[in-house]
Amino acid sequence: MNERTADHRLSTLLERVEDQLRPGLLIRSVDPHDPVRVDRIPQPWRTLGCGNYAAVLVHPDHPEQVVKFYAPGRPGIEQEAEVYRRIGHHAAYSQCFHVGEGYLVLRRLQGITLYDCIRTGSPIPLQAMQHIDEALAYAVSRGLHGHDVHGRNVMVHEGRGLIVDISDFLNPEPCRAWQDLRWAYHRLYRPLIAPLGLQAPGPVLDLVRRSYRLYRRLNSQGRSR
């Protein structure tokens, strides 16, 4: 696709966002520690996923881009736009094409999250984990921080590791999410889970996620005393 065609397609997408998506979309943030909820979305748009700040949406005529809409009252869009500006072009990250009022237009990343790999028994190759290590080192070289990199924010596609959500990469506070995930990968997944092809139901993984968040919160409070 040449640059002129790409510009035209982006312009068409932005028109659809403003004329169709924005008027008909209803997003709520019920709890800042849980994913936002999409209560209403106009056809033919559909929801790809929800994070604690925003929902990621796609139009069938624009499968290579996604629109990340922040829920009302949830901060961070300016910070996320700055993160993408610093990241520039990198194979392990998405790319920001446009910053709108309350939303970003991003390159769509294809793959399966580590969360869903565990849930479905799909393999997580070692090289994908190494790709994430390299991508985080690159982010540090750009003045960023690998903050909140966890199983729902990391994907595997054709053996490569991708980081989906970098909205918190301006946060300088120490975060052990990726280190703890790497520890679990090397100490639990590779020797125990992968050889047996075990699957973990979604409710079990959600319980682990909530327990881990509580552990991190209590551990952080303990260090601050």
| pLDDT value, residue 92 | 97
Furthest CA-CA distance within the chain: 57
Mean of pLDDT values over 124-135: 97
140, two tokens: 């540090």
Residue type, 114: L
The 10s digit of each residue's pLDDT in 71-109 is 998 889 999 999 999 999 999 999 999 999 999 999 999
| pLDDT value, residue 189 | 87
- pLDDT value at 126 more than 90: yes
How far, rounded to the nearest angstrom, does the alpha carbon of residue 75 sit from its chain's CA centroid? 16
Over pLDDT 90: what percentage of the chain?
Answer: 64
Polymer length in residues for the chain: 225
- Find, among 13, 18, 108, the residue nearest to 59 by Cα: 13
| pLDDT value, residue 213 | 61
Contact 87, 93 (CB under 8 A): yes
Residue 212: CB atoms within 10 A of its CB come to: 16
**DSSP symbol at 173:** S
183, two tokens: 């520890």
The 10s digit of each residue's pLDDT in 147-161 is 989 998 999 999 999
- pLDDT value at 214 more than 60: no
Mean pLDDT of the chain: 89
The 10s digit of each residue's pLDDT in 17-40 is 999 999 999 999 888 878 899 999
The 10s digit of each residue's pLDDT in 174-204 is 888 899 899 989 988 899 888 877 776 666 5
Q: How far apart are CA 50 and CA 47, in angstroms?
A: 8
Cis geometry, peptide bond prior to residue 44 (ω within 30 degrees of 0): yes
Least confident range of 2-16, 45-59, 92-106, 122-136 = 2-16
- CA distances (Å), origin 162, targets 24, 61, 104: 31, 24, 19
CA angle at residue 17 from 85 to 62, to 5 degrees? 80
| pLDDT value, residue 220 | 60
pTM (two decimals): 0.84
